[in-house]
Amino acid sequence: MEVERVQAIASLSLSSDTIPAEFVMAETEQPAATTFLGPIPEIPTVDLSDPDEQNLVRSIAEASKEWGFFQAVNHDIPAEVIRRLQEVGTEFFGLPQEEKEVYAKAADAKSIEGYGTKLQKDKNGKKSWADHLFHRIWPPPRINYQFWPRNPPSYSLSIGLGLEGQVLKEAVGGEEVEYMMKINYYPPCPRPDLTLGVPAHTDLSTLTILVPNEVPGLQVLKDDHWIDANYIPNALIIHIGDQIEIASNGYYKSVLHRTTVDKEKARMSWPVFLEPPPEFVVGPLPNLLNPQNPPKYKSKMFKDYAFCKLNKLPQ
């Protein structure tokens, strides 16, 4: 069965100035009705070149506790590397449809790797305005080059970042952490007031490191308000994921976020999800627990956690 891609639907929709009904979100989720328009709280920006290590640790910890989210600047990843990453991803989504379909995820695949469109609808029966490409980029034995595009020829990537102390790092996979890359492609949309590129969700990862393009769209929930994240050139957007929330027994928050789309331009983002190995058991760190702070989460293998989350089953 041939899957209809959002990129193709967008091409038809732009000429009619309407979008199919299955993309129109419930009114409680429509960006025009729910984006916060009051005085905007300042989303944390962390300068990773801060020579005062105590101040840097405090800034990261506070942002992770209060927001589950921050933008990292002066991170030492060259602007040219980020530019090339954006360039090859943009080129891939500019390929003819039949070339992209070479990398399509098989309908019966157990892995999420490959080119695709999220087929499952949300709780209100609505679809997201986005296509994507998923593939694992680290460690080398876990890479499946079947899903690495050969066109454009320059498709390659090297990215790494370390933020947390050793104890928390070991609790969520240590040196065995796997890096899953995704490219999100949100085509121009004639009714960006009614739909979402991605509905509200938290990431099931340990940590997510995201590079956006210059088209705004990321929103985070803070104090029951959906707040726009400003675009900062060359900044990395850091999302605290579910596994850090679990390991910290809820001290750090996995950020609830969503993506809006643009009427004129394609929005793109390049998240890298840092995930424990499938069989690795994540649970609240024992040294954080006491009678006043009992475990709030079950300990379980990451693959079981991911299965429950992706299939909307109770944890």
pLDDT tens for residues 230-278?
899 889 999 999 999 999 999 888 999 999 999 999 999 999 999 999 9
Domain assignment of residue 311, yes or no: no
Higher pLDDT, 125 or 309: 309
Q: What is the mean pLDDT of the chain?
A: 86
Write down the pLDDT at residue 12. 84
To 10 degrees, the CA torsion angle through 36, 241, 88, 92? -80
Lowest mean pLDDT among 18-22, 52-56, 114-118, 162-166: 162-166
Please indicate whether residue 265 is annotated as part of the active site: no
What is the pLDDT confidence band of residue 17, given thresholds at 50, 70 and 90?
confident
Residue 150, pLDDT score:
64
Residue 152 lies in a domain: yes
Catalytic one of 131, 203, 222, 242: 203
Using CA atoms, how far apart are residues 239 and 71, in angstroms rounded to an integer? Answer: 9
Q: Which of 65, 118, 193, 201 is catalytic?
A: 201
The full length of the chain comes to 315
pLDDT classification of 112: cutoffs 50, 70, 90: confident
When divided into structural domains, the chain yields a total of 1
Tally the C-alpha atoms within 13 A of residue 100's C-alpha that lie toward its C-beta: 23
CA distance 177 to 119: 28
Average pLDDT over every residue of 304-315: 89
In a domain, residue 51? The reply is: no
Confidence of residue 227 (pLDDT cuts 50, 70, 90): very high
- Asked whether 20 and 126 are in contact (CB, 8 A), the reply is no
Asked if residue 89 is part of any domain, the answer here is yes
Residue 307 lies inside a defined structural domain of this protein: no
User: What is the pLDDT, as a whole number, of residue 154?
Assistant: 47
Percent of the residues in the chain that have a pLDDT greater than 70, as a whole number: 91
DSSP 8-state symbol, 108: T
pLDDT score of 1: 46
Residue 30, domain member (yes or no):
yes
CATH number of domain containing 195: 2.60.120.330
135 is an active site residue: no
Q: Is 312 an annotated catalytic residue?
A: no
In a domain, 285, yes or no: no
Residue 134 included in any domain: yes
User: What is the arithmetic mean of pLDDT over 217-225?
Assistant: 92
**From 182, 300, 303, 309, the catalytic residue:** 182
pLDDT band at 152 (very low <50, low <70, confident <90, very high): low
Sign of the torsion angle spanned by Cα atoms 273, 277, 280, 286: negative
Query: Could you read off the pLDDT of 266-302 as tens digits, one per residue?
Result: 999 999 999 999 999 999 988 888 999 999 999 999 9
Query: What pLDDT was estimated at residue 289?
Result: 87
Radius of gyration of the chain (CA): 19
Does residue 201 carry a catalytic annotation? Answer: yes
- Which residues constitute the domain of residue 248? 6-43+77-277
3-state secondary structure of 150: coil
